[in-house]
Amino acid sequence: MVKLVAIYRQPENKEEFDRHYKEVHAPLAAKMPGLLKMEVNRVYGTPMGESDLYLIAEMYFENQETLEQGLASSEGRAAGKDLMGFAKKLVTMHFAEVV
Amino acid sequence: MVKLVAIYRQPENKEEFDRHYKEVHAPLAAKMPGLLKMEVNRVYGTPMGESDLYLIAEMYFENQETLEQGLASSEGRAAGKDLMGFAKKLVTMHFAEVV
């Protein structure tokens, strides 16, 4: 099992970010073929106080091949284009294997 | 459900990091009371190439209260002390709510 992990730093306008994420981006990402599960985590702090992070979204796929197929699909490209439009400066994307 | 998320950047010595993580740190973290599940993710890339991240460890608790109790327990403090000894400069810790 592998994951596509999107790590978002704190946005300037949280309300606008939340609205776009919930109403537009998450539904687009959820359409990616091969997606087994999506887990969205809202970061609310650290053991030492405030976090520089805001959201961690994890998209599970069976393996790297199906993950890449999901990203390369028309649905994956639509989600990627939307992501760059609203969160290019906030987000980093990572591939990870569940150990 | 909430998570304690530990995000590790790339260590200089991966073999030493892996050995310590697997043989010492993960078993210590797994002893925290209240821990429901631990999911360890090995980062192996990004859509654009190499990632600056190495490992993402997620420790699930029922809520923030049990998470804090887990961290404050003798087992949690032992895991925290070990973490600072081998990965202080590599790791950031975050609290997140599973949406």
| CATH of residue B31 | 3.30.70.100
Query: Containing domain of residue B29, as a range?
Result: 2-97
Query: What is the interface pTM, i.e. ipTM, of the complex?
Result: 0.95
Check residue A98 and give its pLDDT: 97
A52 to A49, A82, B65, B66, B82: CA distances (angstroms): 10, 23, 22, 23, 24
Domain count across chain B: 1
pLDDT, position A7: 98
Average pLDDT, chain A: 97
Q: What is the structure's pLDDT at A30?
A: 97
Q: Identify the pLDDT of residue A22.
A: 97
Q: For residue A9, what pLDDT is reported? A: 98
Q: How far apart are CA B32 and CA B64, in angstroms?
A: 14
Q: Distance between terminal CA atoms of chain A?
A: 8
Mean pLDDT of A37-57: 96
* Residue numbers in chain B where pLDDT is lower than 70: none
Of the partner residues A40, A95, A97, the one whose CB lies closest to the CB of residue B46: A95
Q: Which residues of A touch B51 (CB under 8 A)?
A: 92, 94-95
Cβ distance B95 to A47 less than 8 Å, yes or no, reads yes
Q: In the predicted model, what is the mean pLDDT of residues A78-94?
A: 97
Packing angle, helices B64-72 and B74-87, rounded to 10 = 70
pLDDT at A25: 98
Residue B79 contacts residue B25 (beta carbons within 8 Å)? yes
Instruction: Kindly state the tokens that stand for A11.
Output: 């946005």
Phi-psi region of B58 (alpha: psi -120 to 50; beta: other; left: phi over 0): beta
